[in-house]
Amino acid sequence: MIVVGIDPHKRSHTAVALEEASGASVGERTVSADASGRGELLAWAAALGGACRFAIEDGRPFSGALERSLLAGGYDVVRVPPKLMGQARRSGRTYGKSDPIDARAVALAAIREPDLPRARIDPADEQLRLLVEHRNDLVGERTRMHNRLRDHLHQLEIGLEVPPGGLERPVWLKRVRTALEALGPSVRRRIALELVERCAELTGAVRALDVELGTLVSGRPDGAALTAIVGCGVLSAATVLAAADGIGRFATEARFASHAGVAPLPASSGGRIRHRLNRHGNRQLNAALHRIAFTQARMHAPAKGYLERKRTEGKTRKEALRCLQRHLARVVYRTLVTASVQTT
């Protein structure tokens, strides 16, 4: 078996082929990051004279088209996290940094780690991921607009106390607009009026995306199953589906929990057994599980009982909530596995 490590970039892709058994170099090729370059890379791989497995440094803005071409060609493709690539490069005998060195490190990391996630292209999951990311961008931009507008309103002293979250509601935006229009002309007033219009526009766009996400999630068996979990709304379900990127790539629920960053990390030494908070994993998936846990802690009797039991064991409120997140990762994993089995 030949393992081809690829270091993807915006304008070029560098590939280094290694023998899986010995790690010996078989070949090296740099191609342009366009359709002709991808075709050249496929032809080069076919001429290597053996079965190939491709390992690509996980940078999907640069490697997405390459992954699609390789998968369409019938190749096995795995994604190598940049952290693993960096560790393999630092442990090598060749010092320095270059595209061939990085590509070789990608291949070595794939050889050392046989359970790396396999690349897959699912149009439905990709659509959800793009919409969730776009919604997050719009919400972040709206938050910045709200902060700027509140600063201007404070400076202008419009005599109106806008409550938290009020700038997301049309009725409060209308009141703010009316109060601003009653003031004398000034640059600050003009900017504030522009921000009011921008806030209204962003809120409309976010709500339209919420409707679209709701339609997509409810139209999928796994999405409908997730929203049946107490505390899991449409946005959390869409985030879970997009971040999981196919539940079949996780062999166990423990690996899914590790991917979500809710599996505690061992931090034991000698006779002292302890664990510490996991700050790794997919943070979007982690945030979705946190939202579900926080909602259940407020309104779901079984979750409240679970948290009480953890508190009686001596855990703090935050530690108990983290335990609930870990439990919910198990629930979400089993829900998605069951839904995937029913649809096959």
Do 268 and 333 share a domain, yes or no? yes
Domain that holds residue 284: 221-343
**Residue 117 counted as domain residue:** no
Do 245 and 311 share a domain, yes or no? yes
Under 8 Å between Cβ of 15 and 44: yes
Do 37 and 88 share a domain, yes or no? yes
Do 11 and 88 share a domain, yes or no? yes
Whether the pLDDT of residue 228 is over 90: the answer is yes
Give the total number of structural domains in the chain.
3
Do 226 and 306 share a domain, yes or no? yes
| 266 or 205, which is more confident | 205
pTM (predicted TM-score): 0.82
Do 236 and 172 share a domain, yes or no? no
As a whole number, mean pLDDT of residues 67-93 equals 86
As a whole number, mean pLDDT of residues 289-307 equals 94
Do 243 and 131 share a domain, yes or no? no
As a whole number, mean pLDDT of residues 170-177 equals 95
Question: Quick one: pLDDT at residue 223?
Answer: 93
Do 290 and 332 share a domain, yes or no? yes
As a whole number, mean pLDDT of residues 106-126 equals 86
Q: Which of 218, 240, 257 is the last residue of a domain?
A: 218
Band (pLDDT 50/70/90 cuts) for residue 269 is confident
Question: Quick one: pLDDT at residue 178?
Answer: 95
Question: Quick one: pLDDT at residue 344?
Answer: 63
Question: Quick one: pLDDT at residue 265?
Answer: 77
Do 254 and 189 share a domain, yes or no? no
Each residue's pLDDT tens digit, 19-36? 888 888 888 999 999 999
Query: If you average pLDDT over every residue of the chain, what do you get?
Result: 90
